[in-house]
Each structure stands twice: as C-alpha cells, then as structure tokens.
Amino acid sequence: MADRLAGRTVLVVGAGTRPSPEPDAPLGNGRAISVACAREGATVVCADLDGEAAEATAALVREAGGEAVVVEADVTDEDDVARMVAAAPGLTGVVVNAGIGRGGGLRRTSADDWDATLAVNLRGPFLVARAAVAAMVEAEQPGSLVLIGSLAGLQPGSRLPAYDASKAGLIGLCRHVALEGARRGIRANVVAPGLIDTPLGRAATAGRPSRGETPVPLGRQGDATEVAAAVVFLLSDEASYITGTTLPVDGGLALI
C-alpha cells in the first residue's frame, strides 16, 4: 500500500459498478477509484444508490487493505447527500462519479429524459459539493473534490443532448467551486474520461456499435484503473497547485 492519501477520508459517490452478466466484466470507474484510494491509504466511504453494489466495492476496498463505510443514498436527494457527508467525519476528499444518460438526439429526448439526466449529473454534484465544502472547512488538511465528467462535456459525441449539456455544466460548476473554495484551501477539478472499457461503456457500445470503432489516437480504449490514477493524483498533495481544471483521460481522442 502506498501512502499518498494516508490518514484521509475520501467519499466516493457512485462507488458501485453496474451489474454485468459477463464473468470477466471490467471494473466501473467508481469501484476502481475506491480501490485505488484505499491502496493509497485512505478510508473510503462508498456511497451508491445500489447498496449491494456499494457493499461489493467496500469488500474490495478491505481486500486492498483499506477501511470502508457503505452508504446507500440518492445523489439527487438533499437529505441523502447530508447522510453521505455525515458518514465521512474528517472528510478531505470527494469524488462524484454518479451519472446517467437518457434520450437520443433532440427529437428522441423527452423533457423527462432531460430533467432526469440533469438531476443526477448536475443537481447531484451541486448538492454534494455544497455539503462537502462546508464539511471540509472543518478539516485539518486541505480538501479536494474531483468531479467525473466526460469528454462529451468538451465536444459533442454522445448523441445525447441532456448528457452532453450536463457534463458541460459540470465543468462550469467545478470552476465556481474551485474559485469559492480556494480561499479555504479547497481544490476542485474535473476528470473527463473518453472511451473507457467499463460495464456501462460496453452497454453503450452494444446500443451504438460505431462507438467501439472510434479511432482513438492511442489505438485502444482506456480502463477504469487509468481514470482512477488521475483521480488519486488530483486528490493528493502532488496536485496541491491544481484547481479549476479539466483533465481529459481519453487516449488523445480530444485531438481529433
């Protein structure tokens, strides 16, 4: 176990992984991030709407030598968000990984699709950031928030207008949190994955096979451990002078 996050408590919102029938299914981003934080010495609060998925992640955190707490909660609910943060005394790190995508093009996206997507992808991160910043002011160590966005927030590509808009909005939210938090020693950044091999990514490719043929400059999809490595860096003191930025983890896809 390394020690870049030793003695810290990290809340991972969306810590579970979508169930998959594949026996060799890859980790989702939230699960990989939780395990990576544990390997760096953090106590990890695993929060997810799916309690069983959060428990499975917590088991992997413990296998990695870390301590884990499980919270079953809805990121769109203010009271649930308060419970998440209360379950993480001494909170110094927050990762918001919750996200959904609904609809399909403007004509096939209903108002309900739009509202549901923005509730999870933008309202939820706002509620978490608001509660977490208030809690981290009390901590002895500087705090860091990492919002998991998407390359779709930087350029069109998902073909889901609500998803693209929510991920672009997440970057705007991050900038505000970073500016307001700076005077309190609290940093905020976005990690924007590109094509990542996760259960959710495989489901997206099954629905749109052309997704898997995207010409990524590095010649392959990424995996969740590569997203997790970027997150751990931004949570750690190694990134102590980085705030308000968006870090693509995309194999160069933003270049084309």
User: Active-site residues: which are they?
Assistant: 163
Cβ proximity of 47 and 11 under 8 Å: yes
Cβ proximity of 143 and 181 under 8 Å: yes
The DSSP code for 185 is: T
C-alpha 151 chain-centroid distance: 13
Q: Which residue has the tokens 């499980």?
A: 70
For residues 15 and 128, give the distance between their C-alpha atoms in angstroms, rounded to a whole number. 14
The DSSP code for 190 is: E
Nearest to 211 by CA among 223, 226, 224, 196: 196
Tell me the DSSP string of 103-166: --TTTT--HHHHHHHHIIIIIHHHHHHHHHHHHHTTSSS-EEEEEE--GGGTS--SS-HHHHHH
